Structure 1
């Protein structure tokens, strides 16, 4: 199966390999999530988080724990950040306890942020986040089914949303798998901004797929003498530069945020950046070949009569 992107270039000669690679990446991502897990932030578990910066030399983790050990802070976690900063995670605390913790950390400390979320709110956010993600997937797939309902040959109406769903699963699992790995290596936690990044990725993914599928639908009606494979060749060729430019123009600022935006935005930009790359891959090398495989073999190389 060859998909000509430009004169003399066939990148779908190995379309089976691209499909196998996508499935392998999904399985690796699932394995990463199972092995490393997704560390939930206080948005979902409830608790308090404080980030401070030492104006002088930063004490060791053991020293900070010793200063706070007499306070009832629940499961206390100390995480050094950069050269001078420290993240302190603890149970949900009141303002008077907040001030006591701050004073025990030392006079040379400058507080950068403090967030506190109760356990009830954390559980409610968890349920709402799961519901929003599922609803988003259903809405996106339903929209594809509605938008392409009039194309009945050679592609059946249910083929379009099925190919889109595979792309969405790929674009969701790959960033989560990479995030699980970084969570293990760098202590990244799943938070509301990360969920926002994932939902943004789904939006980018479906947009890229719609651009390609819409051109395929248009060319199906314009070129009834061509086989479906050739129609898809033409469609990918016509939309490739648009998808590349859109994805790269978004990716470059995201990379800048990842490297220079500070620790707070690092997890958000990681998920968004990986998702953009995954979305570009799925819109060109995953959903079109998968869609073509579902088409009646007799129409792949021969036009409609």
Structure 2
């Protein structure tokens, strides 16, 4: 049996360091916002003409007055993703005609343009969405565990879940702040969706462990001490949590390596979040319950509590 509770300060220390580093990165660098939030145009083009290369496309865009364009090559079909300022439909048609004229057989595979005002509205809704999800999940957990009030009040499960979700969201966010600052990676609506997916996975994993703790407490095992009950519950669900996570991680790694370039950072955010969600459900959420209970009972939350 793994003594997770006995080493709780080590695991919480690792999490605390990662959270602190992430908060510093977010505060210092902020996010490089995608066109979804700041406004702009995403244009996907391709051509059988070998003359269409990243360099020649950049030169063409500069001729059209778009020197600050960001170009990404799509590995799957050899097309190019171009991120530029927001343009009107008239400008779009003129640029497309010029592209077709310069590169024979050039075709447009996708076009999306978002104005700054729409981007600001999407940003506002994204933040509100994440906030409502966090609060809603916490209230649901507190309600679901209402029948278990001793030795831990049901609302404490909700609060600990909220702290755990913050842990699982802020670390990927910090990673993207770092990647945006040094590698130009953008945080767009896909990133927000990835965070919501991570939150759903994390709370599911946490509920599995909490539910086993609830069952063991209802069976009267709290007489052996809360720390022992929690540790036993973690070990009873450990194999299930790891097996589920490993299966999902393998799928995500395959998508990361062989999937389309447009989904690379979306998959990366989910991959990091899944790993963190598994870690936090085992090594963060339950130890926090034990520590909180020890403080509330007026004891020092040491190795034996």
Pair 1:26–1:300, CA change in 2 (3 A): closer
Q: CA deviation at 1:234?
A: 1.4
Q: CA deviation at 1:173?
A: 0.7
- Identify the range of structure 1 (279-288 vs 224-233) with the bigger mean alpha-carbon deviation: 224-233
TM-score normalised over the length of structure 1: 0.86
Where does 1:207-246 land on structure 2 (aligned, <5 Å)? 207-222=204-219, 223-246=221-244
SS of 2:32's equivalent?
coil
Q: How many angstroms apart in 1 are the aligned matches of 2:222 and 2:42?
A: 61
Pair 1:91–1:150, CA change in 2 (3 A): same
Pair 1:18–1:224, CA change in 2 (3 A): closer
SS of 2:173's equivalent?
helix
Q: 1:41 aligns with which of 34, 52, 68?
A: 34
1:173 corresponds to: 170
1:3 corresponds to: none
1:113 correspondence with 2:110? yes
Where does 1:22-101 land on structure 2 (aligned, <5 Å)? 22-53=15-46, 55=48, 56-59=50-53, 61=55, 64-69=57-62, 71=64, 76-81=68-73, 85-101=79-95
Q: How many angstroms apart in 1 are the aligned matches of 2:54 and 2:197?
A: 38
Q: How many angstroms apart in 2 are the aligned matches of 1:67 and 1:22?
A: 48
Where does 1:152-191 land on structure 2 (aligned, <5 Å)? 152-191=149-188
Q: How many angstroms apart in 2 are the aligned matches of 1:186 and 1:54?
A: 27
SS of 1:14's equivalent?
helix
Where does 1:289-304 land on structure 2 (aligned, <5 Å)? 289-296=287-294
TM-score normalised over the length of structure 2: 0.86
1:20 correspondence with 2:13? yes
Structure 1: runs of 5 or more not aligned: 1-5
1:34-55 residue CA offsets vs partner (Å, 9 max, x unmatched): 3333111111122211123454
2:264 corresponds to: 266
- The answer (yes or no) to whether the contact 2:31–2:177 under 8 Å persists in 1 is yes
Structure 2: runs of 5 or more not aligned: none
- The answer (yes or no) to whether the contact 1:26–1:174 under 8 Å persists in 2 is yes
- Identify the range of structure 1 (182-191 vs 147-156) with the bigger mean alpha-carbon deviation: 182-191
SS of 2:87's equivalent?
coil
2:284 corresponds to: 286
Q: CA deviation at 1:103?
A: 4.1
